[in-house]
Structure 1
Amino acid sequence: MRSMASAGRPPTSRQCSSGFCTRTSRTSTDAGMAAKSDQTQRAFASSTVTRATVNASAALLASQCMPPLACRLLIAQRDRTGTPAPSPALRHGVSCGEVWMPEARDAASDGSPTPPSDAPTGASTSVVLLRPLPLPPNRSMERYADEIQQGFQDRAGWEVSSASTGRASALASRFRLQRLERAVARVWSYPRLVRRLPADVFHIVDHSYAELLGALPQSRTVVTCHDLMLLRAEVSDIGFRGRRPTVRRFRRRVEHLRRAARVVCVSATTARDVRELLGVEEERLRVIPNGISAAFYPLPAERVQAARTEALGGHRHSLLHVSTGDPYKNVETTLHVLARLRAQGLDVCLLRVGVALTDAQRALSRELRVDPAVIEQGRVDDARLVELYNLADVLIFPSTYEGFGWPPLEAMACGTPVVTSDCDALAEVVGDAGLMAAPRDVEGLAAAVERLLTDDAVAAEYRRRGVARAAEFTWARTIEGLAEVYREVAGAGPPHLGVAGGAPTLL
């Protein structure tokens, strides 16, 4: 596989060894800025390099014909050394976004280039991960992309970087134009960016951005589909229906999956939906389950006991529910299960992570007389989430639909028994390592939870099964599967060199 440095054309004075460079328009008004850019590019161009961080201004990108509200850019490249380099600044006009130059050489603390590395530069396969826009942030998609990029970091023969437009500009925030800026970035500046990126393989990590295929070489593009919940809800009873405009917009976007070289599905359930609802041929589908971070593991008993005392507010038992607040998370059923358990004399509380109860759900909790036993934790970081998984007696997860289902897997990895609905994807993930009932079966779900709370032997058995089951879902296995897909796609033809010849412009 050819590296991006050997793109089949002579390098220009502004082309770095990786093929990722900025290119300025040489106008009389920008002469000073162009001179600074050339000086910085010469510092990057002469050796095998690791990473440098360059502050590229919005005005510089605007000189390439981008509107001020859509010109912030983020290109993230893995760092072989694990140590970020100080960044020579290119500042012009307004405050700037950050550009990470792939394979750019480290700069010394005074901004001067470090000596060339003696390491050989073998040909490698270049992959660009196309991430969702960061507003609003999508934690699951960012985690997925982060794990992929980190997983390829130490694999020889791979150069995996990330691309996305950057955070909201100060101007947009000041005038509350973030939604407009996001819309412009999605339909205009992000496609312009990806059209100019050189790579052997492109990977759209979020299926709802599949429309980017219109700006990419389709034979070299992979898309990960996490779920088609909105489309499945139109033809099956999964407990909710999306709004018509939302469904139409979603359908227009995901129909582009038919054009991808490969569609990676995180579960067999999702692969079935892609095949049935979009008509994608089975030979282009690959089922590659998500992995689980090593950060989720059983904590020491003394730490768990201290955390329980603080979190449970004097209650003896605890259920944990992790929820985005979406209808399919079936929050109302968790409240009914809590009420049933307390009516049977069990002193149990419900710890809720994520979006708080709505007014209607709070009214239901008061009607069921369980409001004092509902303890909101809000949005938490991974460290706190691990702690909550460990201190909970049972995770309850009665979703009416899932494309994969990370919370049960994370809970099992922490040694917490799980009770879930029997929807297809959760049955895939949990297997026989958890107890299940139908999503709306309050009695069945309550009986399963009661069994785990009152029988220590049963709880211990499901803790053992859960830890063993979670150990099967490693990111190493996911990365190996993706590497095979990338190899298949990379062999489909010559690498994509970006448009307009010479060093590509990052817009």
Structure 2
Amino acid sequence: MNNPVLILLESAMMFCMIDLCIDARMAFCSGIGVYIRQLVPFFNAAPFRLRLLVDRFDQPWCCGIEQILFRAPIYSVKEQLQYPLKVPKCDLFWSPHYNVPLLPIRAKKRIATIHDACHLALGTFEKKMYAKWVMRRALARSDRAITVSQFSKVEIEKFVGCGDLKVIHVGINRNTFSRKPSSEEIRKKYRLPERFVLFIGNFKPHKNIERLIRAFSKVNVSGLELVVVGKGTALGQVLDEELPVLYSMAEMFVFPSLYEGFGLPPLEAMSCGCPTVVSNAASIPEVCGDASVYFNPENVDEMADAIRRVAVDEKLRAKLIQRGLERVEVFKWEKTAMEHRKVFEEVCFA
């Protein structure tokens, strides 16, 4: 039998609005930026009254939402000094990254997302000490903390030694990332070969591109070339709208990373019907499940064998494409947003 008191309380909660402020200044910072831009629109509805901290006005992705200009550089002393002035009086302040206000602010409750422990696992001694200090304070000053994978939860708890972390996987936008027709315009623009293996990333050591280049030199499949796209590469960064076309044109996508808190690119590739060959390190198996061919990212010969196997086996490629399309159905931004909303409401109504 339903408890009438609980029913009344639940009904009352439905009519309780939550003043929510989100630090959205990193909306175009790689994976964190995707996370912010995809989730924020879901919070611009009851029970939330939404305001954003932004580093510039007139951004199309958040038009129609109340905004507060905050131009202090990220990770700066000036930023920390201005946080108490910029964060308005509100019920809840959400930091979608571990760079949180260290001084008191006017929010009643606070939540932070810590995406990974990369700086703690791979940084220099100085960077590790600084990251540990900041993360501990982020956790201490937050009423709840979120992370994006079970792997990250274990890593953060291992390095920081504290924190009640809620794991919420991020999503993939199937409207953006879907199979696209081949484009001769893009092929000419980037001088793409007829058959190519695609890597998207940068030259940070944990992206492991040097081993990938060495491995690919051992693949020896006629007509197959390696295309490397991203900041600091020969082709540079591509436009967002070109990414799904590149994934769709590629023979396969390879992801040799040594460390990822989540790792969206394999899911983007899967969503575009591109077979994926990925590292078996960090969070990547948690994300890719049975929809990828795996290799040890520190073993060049094993990496080369995995790429070669997918390149020469049409049935395997077809199986990976089908499993990839099934796998991405697990990761929907609607589900991610719903789980965040639940955490926000639990914290505010606690």
The two structures have a TM-score, normalised by structure 1, of: 0.59
Compared CA separation, residues 271 and 231, structure 1 to 2 (3 A): same
Query: How far 1:142 moved relative to its partner?
Result: 2.4
CA distance in 2, matches of 1:286, 1:179: 29
Confirm whether residue 273 of structure 1 aligns to residue 273 of structure 2.
Answer: no
- Residue-by-residue CA offset, 1:10-65 (whole Å, 9 max, x unaligned): xxxxxxxxxxxxxxxxxxxxxxxxxxxxxxxxxxxxxxxxxxxxxxxxxxxxxxxx
Confirm whether residue 163 of structure 1 aligns to residue 53 of structure 2.
Answer: yes
Compared CA separation, residues 462 and 216, structure 1 to 2 (3 A): same
Which residue does 1:334 correspond to in 2? Answer: 212
CA distance in 1, matches of 2:263, 2:152: 12
Which residue does 1:321 correspond to in 2? Answer: 199
CA distance in 1, matches of 2:104, 2:320: 48
Structure 2 SS opposite 1:214:
coil
Compared CA separation, residues 463 and 304, structure 1 to 2 (3 A): same
CA distance in 2, matches of 1:252, 1:490: 27
1:258 maps to a residue whose letter is L
Query: How far 1:414 moved relative to its partner?
Result: 0.6
Compared CA separation, residues 314 and 215, structure 1 to 2 (3 A): closer
**Contact in 2 for aligned 1:328/1:399 (Cα 8 Å):** yes
Which residue does 2:165 correspond to in 1? Answer: 285
Structure 1 SS opposite 2:139:
helix
2:159 maps to a residue whose letter is L
Query: How far 1:448 moved relative to its partner?
Result: 1.5
1:338 maps to a residue whose letter is F
Query: How far 1:472 moved relative to its partner?
Result: 1.2
Confirm whether residue 140 of structure 1 aligns to residue 44 of structure 2.
Answer: no
**Contact in 2 for aligned 1:219/1:489 (Cα 8 Å):** no
Compared CA separation, residues 127 and 253, structure 1 to 2 (3 A): same
Q: Which has the higher contact order (CA 8 A, sep 6+)?
A: 1
Query: How far 1:306 moved relative to its partner?
Result: 3.2
Query: How far 1:473 moved relative to its partner?
Result: 0.6
Match of residue 134, structure 2, among 253, 267, 270: 253
Unaligned runs of 5+ in 2: 1-14, 58-70
Counting only pairs closer than 5 Å after superposition, residues 378-389 of structure 1 correspond to structure 2 as 378-389=236-247
CA distance in 2, matches of 1:322, 1:286: 29
Compared CA separation, residues 405 and 427, structure 1 to 2 (3 A): same
Query: How far 1:308 moved relative to its partner?
Result: 7.2
Query: How far 1:402 moved relative to its partner?
Result: 0.4
Counting only pairs closer than 5 Å after superposition, residues 208-223 of structure 1 correspond to structure 2 as 209-210=99-100, 212-216=101-105, 220-223=109-112
**Contact in 2 for aligned 1:131/1:206 (Cα 8 Å):** no
Query: How far 1:256 moved relative to its partner?
Result: 1.2
**Contact in 2 for aligned 1:129/1:202 (Cα 8 Å):** yes
CA distance in 2, matches of 1:180, 1:487: 30
Query: How far 1:131 moved relative to its partner?
Result: 3.0
Match of residue 120, structure 2, among 220, 231, 240: 231
**Contact in 2 for aligned 1:312/1:349 (Cα 8 Å):** no
Compared CA separation, residues 439 and 181, structure 1 to 2 (3 A): closer
Which residue does 1:124 correspond to in 2? Answer: 17
**Contact in 2 for aligned 1:404/1:425 (Cα 8 Å):** yes
- Residue-by-residue CA offset, 1:404-455 (whole Å, 9 max, x unaligned): 0011111111110111110130000001000111111222222221122111
Query: How far 1:125 moved relative to its partner?
Result: 1.7
Please identify the structure whose Cα radius of gyration is greater: 1
1:261 maps to a residue whose letter is D
Compared CA separation, residues 232 and 218, structure 1 to 2 (3 A): farther
Unaligned runs of 5+ in 1: 1-121, 168-177, 234-241, 358-375, 493-507
Match of residue 306, structure 1, among 181, 184, 197: 184
**Contact in 1 for aligned 2:146/2:165 (Cα 8 Å):** yes
Query: How far 1:218 moved relative to its partner?
Result: 8.1
Which residue does 2:10 correspond to in 1? Answer: none
Which residue does 2:230 correspond to in 1? Answer: 354
Query: How far 1:219 moved relative to its partner?
Result: 6.8
CA distance in 2, matches of 1:382, 1:329: 20
Which residue does 1:11 correspond to in 2? Answer: none
Match of residue 144, structure 2, among 256, 262, 277: 262
Structure 1 SS opposite 2:37:
helix
CA distance in 2, matches of 1:334, 1:145: 30
**Contact in 1 for aligned 2:23/2:53 (Cα 8 Å):** yes
- Residue-by-residue CA offset, 1:99-149 (whole Å, 9 max, x unaligned): xxxxxxxxxxxxxxxxxxxxxxx6422221113468xx5132222112111
CA distance in 2, matches of 1:245, 1:132: 26
Counting only pairs closer than 5 Å after superposition, residues 392-407 of structure 1 correspond to structure 2 as 392-407=250-265
Compared CA separation, residues 308 and 432, structure 1 to 2 (3 A): farther
Compared CA separation, residues 453 and 202, structure 1 to 2 (3 A): same
- Residue-by-residue CA offset, 1:164-188 (whole Å, 9 max, x unaligned): 4549xxxxxxxxxx99897353231
Match of residue 293, structure 2, among 425, 435, 447: 435
**Contact in 2 for aligned 1:213/1:221 (Cα 8 Å):** no
Query: How far 1:232 moved relative to its partner?
Result: 2.2
**Contact in 2 for aligned 1:219/1:261 (Cα 8 Å):** no
Query: How far 1:309 moved relative to its partner?
Result: 4.8
Query: How far 1:273 moved relative to its partner?
Result: 1.5
Structure 1 SS opposite 2:217:
helix
Compared CA separation, residues 466 and 345, structure 1 to 2 (3 A): closer
Aligned residues: 321
Query: How far 1:289 moved relative to its partner?
Result: 0.6
2:139 maps to a residue whose letter is R
2:155 maps to a residue whose letter is D
CA distance in 2, matches of 1:313, 1:339: 20
Compared CA separation, residues 334 and 487, structure 1 to 2 (3 A): same
**Contact in 2 for aligned 1:267/1:404 (Cα 8 Å):** yes
The two structures have a TM-score, normalised by structure 2, of: 0.84
Query: How far 1:243 moved relative to its partner?
Result: 2.6
Confirm whether residue 244 of structure 1 aligns to residue 244 of structure 2.
Answer: no
When the two chains are superposed, the root-mean-square deviation of aligned CA atoms in Å is: 2.5
2:217 maps to a residue whose letter is A
- Residue-by-residue CA offset, 1:58-106 (whole Å, 9 max, x unaligned): xxxxxxxxxxxxxxxxxxxxxxxxxxxxxxxxxxxxxxxxxxxxxxxxx
Query: How far 1:307 moved relative to its partner?
Result: 5.6
1:352 maps to a residue whose letter is V
Query: How far 1:345 moved relative to its partner?
Result: 4.2
